[in-house]
Amino acid sequence: MENEQTSIHDFNLNLICELHVGLERQGPGSPEMTIKALSFLDNLNKTSRVVDLGCGTGGQTMVLAQNITGNITGVDFFPDFINTFNDNAKKLNLQERVNGIVDSMENLSFQKEEFDLIWSEGAIANIGFEKGLNYWKDFLKKDGYIAVTYESWFTDERPAEIEKWWIDAVPEISTIGHNILIMQKSGYIPVAAFTLPEKCWTDNYFIPREAAGKALLEKYTGNKTVEAFIANMKYEAELYSKYRQFYGYVFYIGKKI
């Protein structure tokens, strides 16, 4: 199979889970950027309730927990990620305030207006940016905050090769300006938007993922699906190195009106 013709949607979710479960994070980001996003919020205290949607194994959740005093619930639909998440919380002695549950971000089992803060790094595309902002808003208190990272175009136009890749992976991908407008129309005051530095993609995600990919190839020697999957990951990293001036993750922070 040619890399260019292979979509991430073609791969088995179990394979995606197995590749990522041992990594510190499952998408681009960094502790510094999580803390920077937190610096825009002014409503958190000991009684605050926070939810991290699409938390993965909790790389960013643990950073959050070490920098705020409230309670955090992590939500992810992979049980293996949540098991590791809860192990990580225990290792850091955060289990009293940090708990991971298996649930879908599209069908949340929380009360309306339960949270002071909704966090989500690298995951809102799974429900859709606009749909997520609108659906999740019901679970936020008035004046509560939302902070998400989301794939965004930096320019109005870009080369066809990278446009094709992203339209396939995230069909509603758009520019920063348009995403801020969507946030405003969804009932939030846009508070801040900033781009994630390149090392969030390379040092913190692609490089550890490449090492995990090599181990997976050895475990499943000769398995064509695994080979195509890892080739697809490699192609994604090559595209980033070639076209990184055209796109990246952006932190969007909004306050519910």
Contacts with ligand SAM, residue ranges (CB under 6 A): 25-27, 29, 54-56, 59-60, 75-78, 81, 104-106, 121-123, 126
Question: Residue 178 Cβ, how far from ligand SAM at the closest point, in Å?
Answer: 21
In the complex with ligand SAM, the residue whose CB is nearer, 55 or 253, is 55
Q: Which residues lie below 8 Å from residue 208, measured CB to CB, with a gap of 6+?
A: 23, 24
Question: Residue 254 Cβ, how far from ligand SAM at the closest point, in Å?
Answer: 18
Question: Residue 227 Cβ, how far from ligand SAM at the closest point, in Å?
Answer: 22
In the complex with ligand SAM, the residue whose CB is nearer, 80 or 184, is 80
What would the 3-class secondary structure string for the chain be? CCHHHCCHHHCCHHHHHHHHCCCCCCCCCCHHHHHHHHCCCCCCCCCCEEEEECCCCCHHHHHHHHHCCCEEEEEECCHHHHHHHHHHHHHCCCCCCEEEEECCCCCCCCCCCCEEEEEEECCHHHCCHHHHHHHHHCCEEEEEEEEEEEEEECCCCCCHHHHHHHHHHCCCCEEHHHHHHHHHHCCEEEEEEEECCHHHCHHHHHHHHHHHHHHHHHHCCCCHHHHHHHHHHHHHHHHHHHHCCCEEEEEEEEEEC
Question: Residue 165 Cβ, how far from ligand SAM at the closest point, in Å?
Answer: 16
Question: Residue 41 Cβ, how far from ligand SAM at the closest point, in Å?
Answer: 18
Question: Residue 205 Cβ, how far from ligand SAM at the closest point, in Å?
Answer: 8
Question: Residue 149 Cβ, how far from ligand SAM at the closest point, in Å?
Answer: 7
- Quote the CA–CA distance of 81 and 143 in Å, as a whole number: 31
- Cα Dmax for the chain: 55
In the complex with ligand SAM, the residue whose CB is nearer, 45 or 109, is 109
In the complex with ligand SAM, the residue whose CB is nearer, 8 or 184, is 8
In the complex with ligand SAM, the residue whose CB is nearer, 19 or 46, is 19
Q: Which residues lie below 8 Å from residue 84, measured CB to CB, with a gap of 6+?
A: 21, 57, 58
In the complex with ligand SAM, the residue whose CB is nearer, 172 or 184, is 172
In the complex with ligand SAM, the residue whose CB is nearer, 29 or 254, is 29
